[in-house]
Amino acid sequence: MSAGHKSLLLVVGAAAALFLSGCSPNYLVLNPAGPVGREEMHLIVLSTVLVLAVVIPVFVLLAFIVWRYRDRPGNPAAYRPEWSESRILEIVWWGIPIIIVGVLGFYTAKTTFALTEPPESSTQPLTIQVTSLNWKWLFQYPGQGVATVNYCEIPVGVPVQFELTADSPMNSFWVPQLGGQEYAMPGMAMRLWLQADKPGTYYGHGANFTGEGFAHMGFNVVAVSQKDFDQWVSKAKSTGQALTEAGYQQLKKPGVMGTATYSSYPPGLFHDTVWTNGGRYDPKMAGMGGTDGRAGMMPKGAASMPGTGAPK
């Protein structure tokens, strides 16, 4: 076997391994566990199919033309040096890409706008406020009054609105099996709807490099039944420690830690964090996430003045 054949075999083998294992659970994005992730995977599949609609004919034609028009004795191919333009070919290679870009653009826009709404409207959503810290994730449950670090519990089948900010360099919040990532930025509150179909532990991680301890910014989203969720909340309330203002200052200090559960946290902590850093909210969030009535736009510049953090 020649070196050329060997490397070809290697490439084909690697490609086969990739494609044949495409549905293995290791490929989290291709194994969505909720409506948002599923919607996004449909978009990935659609894009792949449309891209292949170009790539496959191009490579088939390339191989065919190289073979058909190769030079050989008694070459029967026509020699037409004055050839310059073909109306049909022009229509084909402009028309097909225009259709593909149109279809792709339409579905991408449609999905993107649809995902700013809760995946289903019949169930009362849950709000979880997420703060990216150096180098840990703080989760606060404004409806339940509890907080966690580096993991969060959610009820199955309930749309969860994650409100995201950072009290550290900007990060990106990502739970691959539940849906795409959204930035967590200092001074801004962003939103991300996610929902889990069935109980399970879903891996999440920061997807934007934030420095030394970044590699340890993994967390689990634990999806359980509503009953188990309610039990977990009451257990957190009765057995957890309170997160105090001083405790939060401690948490903010750069460092890596495991998980933690808090029975309570300083009221309005999330909004204070957003406001002291700049106070910009996703306009769609005003009145939605503002459990303490403070969500809304704040004039730019106000944030740089000392003491503009909302009063306690």
C-beta separation of 201 from 228 below 8 A = no
By CB under 5 A, tell whether 188 contacts Cu ion.
yes
Nearer to Cu ion, 39 or 282 (CB): 282
C-beta separation of 283 from 251 below 8 A = no
Listed in sequence order, the residues at least 6 apart from 14 whose beta carbon sits closer than 8 Å to its beta carbon are none
Question: Of 23-31, 140-148, 187-195, 227-235, which segment contacts Cu ion by CB under 5 A?
Answer: 187-195
Q: Which H or E element spans position 141?
A: none
Nearer to Cu ion, 48 or 116 (CB): 116
By CB under 5 A, tell whether 138 contacts Cu ion.
no
Nearer to Cu ion, 128 or 164 (CB): 164
Max CA separation in the chain (angstroms) = 91
Judged by CB under 5 A, the residue of 33, 152, 184, 185 near Cu ion is 185
Q: How far is the CB of 186 from Cu ion (least distance, A)?
A: 8
Q: How far is the CB of 280 from Cu ion (least distance, A)?
A: 7
- Nearest residue to 236 via CA among 262, 197, 266, 257: 262
Count of residues binding Cu ion (CB under 5 A)? 2
Burial profile 152-175: b = 16 or more Cβ within 10 angstroms, e = fewer: bbbbbbbbbbbbbbbbbbbbbbbb
Listed in sequence order, the residues at least 6 apart from 189 whose beta carbon sits closer than 8 Å to its beta carbon are 163, 164, 165, 270, 274, 280, 281, 282, 285, 289, 295
Question: Of 188-196, 247-255, 269-277, 291-299, which segment contacts Cu ion by CB under 5 A?
Answer: 188-196
Q: How far is the CB of 299 from Cu ion (least distance, A)?
A: 16
Question: What is the DSSP code (8-state) at residue 178?
Answer: T
Nearer to Cu ion, 164 or 251 (CB): 164
By CB under 5 A, tell whether 274 contacts Cu ion.
no
Q: How far is the CB of 183 from Cu ion (least distance, A)?
A: 6
Q: How far is the CB of 166 from Cu ion (least distance, A)?
A: 10
Listed in sequence order, the residues at least 6 apart from 220 whose beta carbon sits closer than 8 Å to its beta carbon are 150, 151, 152, 201, 202, 203, 204
Please name the amino acid found at residue 1: M
Nearer to Cu ion, 36 or 188 (CB): 188
Nearer to Cu ion, 185 or 217 (CB): 185
Question: Of 61-69, 75-83, 181-189, 264-272, which segment contacts Cu ion by CB under 5 A?
Answer: 181-189
What are the structure tokens assigned to 46, written together?
Answer: 């659609």
Nearer to Cu ion, 188 or 221 (CB): 188
Q: How far is the CB of 175 from Cu ion (least distance, A)?
A: 20
The footprint of Cu ion (CB under 5 A) covers: 185, 188
